[in-house]
Amino acid sequence: MPQFKEVSKQSGLHPKPAGLVLQYGTAGFRTNAKQLDHIMFRMGLLATLRSKKTKATIGVMVTASHNPEEDNGVKLVDPMGEMVTPTWEGYATQLANAEQEDLLAALQDIIKKEAINMSQEANVFVGKDTRSSSASLSQAVLDGVSALGGHSKDYGLVTTPQLHYMVCCQNTQCKYGEATVEGYYKKLCQAFIQLTKNASNCTDDQKHLTVDGANGIGALKVREMESHLKRELHISLFNDGSKGKLNHQCGADFVKVQQKPPTGIKMNPGERCCSFDGDADRIVYYYADSEGQFHLLDGDKIATLISTFLKELLTQAGLDLEIAVVQTAYANGSSTNYLEDTMKVIVRCTKTGVKHLHHAAQEFDIGVYFEANGHGTVLFSKAAEEKIQRLAENSSINDERKRAALLLQNTVNVINQTVGDAISDMLLIEAILAIKGMTIQQWDAIYSDLPNRQLKVKVSDRRVIDTTDAERRAVSPAGLQEAIDSLVKNYREARSFVRPSGTEDVVRVYAEAETQESADALAHDVSLAVYRLAGGVGGEPKPL
Ligand code: G16
């Protein structure tokens, strides 16, 4: 193969440490940045092959999202902006772990299995987050692309969802939008402004939002976008990266898991606040009440708000479209009950990982998917989009139907359907609250969360835990599920599950129960069971 000479030469500059084995996790490879140079080079190679195979542009995003600053990682983006398909996750692992001398054979194997025409052109879009390691690691990706003769476009600093968006725009010949960051702002902000025109009596105070940028890329991009918002949203930005450390005591993951406000922000009682994560693909909202009590509105509350809004609009527009909400095991039991029993929408539960939720959501006319951690978006089927479009252009319908159809049309445009997007979700949520004249307290009161707790347990090898039933039950190690079942019986309205993280070297424990004390105690009990039965390390977990 003519290109292999160059691969051979270049790979010598990005050598794999012998014996190092890394797995493609929940959202790509993720570990300490020092271990990733060869992975990035090889993901450049793989993206080039994927591009040749699909005859489309592929994306590579260098980021470790919610992980600490010293980590990094890589996410691969398929032609329509979705996460790369599972078979190719397998190839990614194969290529990542081939020893230096076996790299060409591993490449050859993929080329053969996928019958790739190596003379086909390849195009790869590359983006990176603000981590100090991201610059050299994204250069390694670019080196991989050029070694196999692919063309690359380096978008530099972008959010993960922005890169997904660019890939989709490029592969739809700009039908989805213009493949530029400026084009992204224009599309989303124009839709937002059209939506908020429907919000009568919205005061300047109600247009105010406090944003915690997690000291990451989201903060830079919010700043860049502000002028497009034409003062229809007033953002006070904190944790903008000018002094604090990425994701440290701030950001969506910290706020969700710790159930407390980030450091570095100013919260006024009753005011809406939100936090992004390190690559701005997650968002959670929160506020402090007049007694200073903290209230979190996570992905479940976001899914409920959005699906309520869409359902009302569909009724007003007289459109018969099936709407479903996709969640994971982390979804609060109260949210699932509310969606099924009160809202009467279809609810599906999948394994953790946006790729699983995205896939399940594609089965419906409108699929709202959110992980409790704030990662999610809304998917509209092609048929649903066309129906909405036709109605919005129909001049013979009454004013109420017309208004609803136009709102639906702009809602489609404000949403980044390629992947969960903190910026797009924020604009949608702000528009819904403005249109409905709803305060964050009223939104919070739609249903009450069951108290819950998430913990992490260190074990020597988290792969000993295997799960089934959308990660709600453990099948190994022996005795663990039985132990969880019997612990859960000690508390009212209780539920608990454990699963190995696919982004951090930990086992995650989730528990919910009637009271916070019970949820905390159950989470601790289950953590101890994990520690004892799954090879815990570093000392037994202490009670909270
Ligand atoms: C990634 C995935 C999410 C997942 C999260 C945590 O988010 O995209 O779907 O919920 O990891 O996964 P795990 O529990 O397996 O560690 P992000 O924002 O970190 O890329």
Amino acid at 323: I
Give me the pLDDT at residue 125, please.
98
Q: What is the mean pLDDT of the chain?
A: 97
DSSP code of 51? H
pLDDT of residue 291: 95
CA of 482 to the centre of ligand 1 (A): 27
> From the alpha carbon of 83, which atom of ligand 1 is closest?
8
Q: Is 409 left (phi over 0), alpha (psi -120 to 50) or beta?
A: alpha
65 as an active site residue: the answer is: yes
Residue 201, pLDDT > 80, answer no
Query: Which residue, 71, 10, 164, is CA-closest to 501?
Result: 71
Ligand 1 atom with least separation from CA of 160:
20
Does the beta carbon of 64 lie inside 6 Å of ligand 1? no
pLDDT of 164 strictly over 80? yes
Average pLDDT over residues 153-176: 97
Q: Are 76 and 60 in contact (CB under 8 A)?
A: yes
CA dist list (Å): 429 to 49, 256, 358, 446, 541: 39, 18, 20, 15, 38
Q: pLDDT (tens digit, 9 = 90+) per residue, 309-332?
A: 999 999 999 999 999 999 999 999
Is residue 269 predicted with pLDDT exceeding 90?
yes
Which class would CATH give 452-533? alpha beta
Give the closest residue (by CA) to ligand 1 atom 3.
Answer: 353
User: Does the pLDDT value for residue 29 go beyond 90?
Assistant: yes
Nearest CA to ligand 1 atom 17: 65
Is 18 exposed, middle or buried, given 0-12, 13-18 or 19+ CB atoms closer than 10 A?
A: exposed
Task: Give residue 165's pLDDT band: very low, low, confident or very high (50, 70, 90).
Answer: very high
Regarding the beta carbon of 371 and ligand 1, being less than 6 Å apart is answered yes
Distance, in Å, from the CA atom of 79 to the CA atom of 74, rounded to the nearest integer, reads: 16
ipTM tops the 0.95 cut:
yes
Q: State the Cα–Cα distance between residues 156 and 137, nearest whole angstrom.
A: 12
Question: Does the pLDDT at position 3 exceed 90?
Answer: no
How confident is the model at residue 1, as a pLDDT? 78
User: Residue 400 — very low, low, confident or very high, per pLDDT cuts 50/70/90?
Assistant: very high
| Helix, strand, coil percentages for the chain (3-state, nearest 5) | 45, 20, 40
Quick one: residue 512, left, alpha or beta (phi over 0 = left, psi -120 to 50 = alpha)? beta
Three-state DSSP state, 25: strand
Mean pLDDT to the nearest integer, 151-180: 97
Ligand 1 centroid vs 4 CA: distance in angstroms? 35
- Indicate whether 397 pLDDT > 90: yes
**DSSP code, position 339:** I
The domain 3-157 having CATH identifier 3.40.120.10: the answer here is yes
Q: Which atom of ligand 1 is nearest to the CA of 373?
A: 10
What pLDDT is stored for residue 138 in this prediction? Answer: 98
CATH superfamily label, 299-397+411-421: Alpha-D-Glucose-1,6-Bisphosphate, subunit A, domain 3 (3.40.120.10)
Topology alike, domains 3-157 and 183-296 = yes
Tell me, using a 6 A CB cutoff, whether residue 78 lines ligand 1.
no
Query: How do the domains of the chain map onto residue ranges?
Result: 3-157, 183-296, 299-397+411-421, 452-533
Torsion 135-136-142-145 (CA) sign: negative
User: Which pLDDT score is estimated for 477?
Assistant: 97
pLDDT at position 198 is 86
Query: With pLDDT > 90 as the criterion, what percentage of the chain qualifies?
Result: 97
Gap from CA of 353 to ligand 1 centroid (Å):
6
Does residue 200 have a pLDDT over 90?
no
Average pLDDT estimate for 367-377: 98
Please pick, among 65, 134, 335, 527, the residue that the annotation labels catalytic.
Answer: 65
Please report, rounded to a whole number, the percentage of residues in the chain having pLDDT higher than 70. 100
Cβ of residue 162 lying under 6 Å from some atom of ligand 1: no
Q: Is 430 in the pocket of ligand 1 (CB under 6 A)?
A: no
pLDDT at residue 507 in the model: 97
183-296, superfamily in CATH? Alpha-D-Glucose-1,6-Bisphosphate, subunit A, domain 3 (3.40.120.10)
Q: What is the mean pLDDT of residues 152-181?
A: 97
Predicted pLDDT at 205: 82
Whether 204 shows a pLDDT value over 90: the answer reads no
Band (pLDDT 50/70/90 cuts) for residue 537 is: very high
Q: How much is the average pLDDT of 438-453?
A: 97
Q: What is the pLDDT of residue 46?
A: 98
**Beta 273-276 vs 283-288: how paired, if at all?**
antiparallel
Q: Which atom of ligand 1 is nearest to the CA of 354?
A: 9
Ligand 1 contact via 28 beta carbon (within 6 Å): no
Q: Which residues contact 242 (CB under 8 A, 6 or more apart)?
A: none
pLDDT at 231: 87
